[in-house]
Chain A
Amino acid sequence: MKRLSELLGIRPCTLIYLLLISFSLTTFLVAKMGFSGLGLSLMVLFLALIKGQLVGSYFMGLGRVRGIWRWPVFIWLFIPGILIGMAFYLSYP
């Protein structure tokens, strides 16, 4: 991330910001175009989890933390992510 942002000549946090915005737009377009179905739902969920992890690591600064405090946001995304994914998986006959 850092290299890429240097290459682009912007701050790392700005790069993250742009990523978050584009992921959100993608999610919105999926909805707008009327897509539905298991594959798309899981993709949208996965994008959301990635977004969450970006916020946790870069905005909240956990990426720079050593030890257990590095993980709370990851765990918070992981467990509900699995549960939500499972519930949606089961909801398709």
Chain B
Amino acid sequence: MTADRSVLQSNYPPGDLAIWIFILAELTVFAVFFAAYAFTRLQHVELFNEYQLTLDREAALINTLALITSSYFVVRAVSAIKVDDRRRCVHWLLAAISMGLLFLIVKTFEYVHHYSEGINLSSNTFYMFYLSLTFFHFMHVIMGMVILAAIAVMAARGKYSRQEHTGIESGASYWHMVDLVWLILFPLVYVMR
């Protein structure tokens, strides 16, 4: 294991370094948001515990599975291009995008439900955090899907190959970041109490 690892090792993460700097900056914003949630909860434990129960945990589970699956598909897309299998690569990317779409649909249903109950940012501190955090993440899912769609188009046009696939790796890294954020957001906002 150590032997074949050393062959693969490099000093830089996959994809363009610029996207990584961007990813780090974005992750920082989320980290601050998470910490703010946790410490604000400290001041309103009962309120947070009470209103957390009004969230739709099934929907959140479906969305977690959707994002993990979609991330996995993206990993497969990168593997495919590394063996010059462009067709597969495009297929995996499209599958990943459709998982993203599933996420958006489920989340939209959640929002519609809250909206119909008259809940908004000013309802209380818990909903303020819940809506802000998930909506900020929601925007990232959209952004990530746009990036995935762009690299899918480029891949279909034959822009990537075994030798040159930095673009795909950059987009993949961004998408994994979107997944990564949700993996913390889900237990923090929906489960931990």
A interface residues (Cβ-Cβ under 8 A, vs B): 2-3, 11, 13-14, 16-17, 20-21, 24-25, 27-28, 30-32, 36, 41, 44-45, 47-49, 51-52, 55-56, 58-62, 64-67, 69, 72-73, 76-77, 79-80, 83-84, 86-88, 90-91
* Interface SS majority for chain B: helix
- Cα distance, A42 to B1, chains bound together (Å): 33
**B75 to A65, Cβ gap below 8 A?**
no
B interface residues (Cβ-Cβ under 8 A, vs A): 1, 5, 8-14, 20, 24, 27-28, 31, 34-35, 38-39, 41-42, 45, 49, 57, 60-61, 64-65, 68-69, 71-72, 74-76, 79, 169, 173, 176-177, 179-180, 183-184, 186-188, 190-193
**A59 to B72, Cβ gap below 8 A?**
yes
A4 to chain B: closest CB distance in Å? 11
A41 to chain B: closest CB distance in Å? 4
A-chain residues with CB within 8 Å of residue B9 when the two chains form the complex: 64-66
Starting from the known contacts A48-B183, A59-B176, A84-B34, 19 additional A-B residue pairs (CB-CB under 8 Å) come to A2-B1, A11-B79, A24-B65, A24-B186, A44-B187, A44-B192, A48-B184, A52-B180, A52-B184, A59-B71, A60-B180, A64-B10, A65-B11, A69-B12, A69-B20, A72-B27, A83-B35, A84-B35, A91-B42
* Interface SS majority for chain A: helix
- Known pairs A55-B183, A60-B14, A60-B176; A24 contacts B38 (CB<8 A): no
**A55 to B31, Cβ gap below 8 A?**
no
**A90 to B61, Cβ gap below 8 A?**
no
A70 to chain B: closest CB distance in Å? 8
B-chain residues with CB within 8 Å of residue A87 when the two chains form the complex: 35, 38-39, 41-42
B193 to chain A: closest CB distance in Å? 4
B152 to chain A: closest CB distance in Å? 18
A-chain residues with CB within 8 Å of residue B20 when the two chains form the complex: 69, 72
Q: Between A and B, how many residue pairs show CB distances below 8 Å? A: 137
B-chain residues with CB within 8 Å of residue A83 when the two chains form the complex: 34-35, 38-39
**A32 to B42, Cβ gap below 8 A?**
no
- Cα distance, A72 to B79, chains bound together (Å): 23
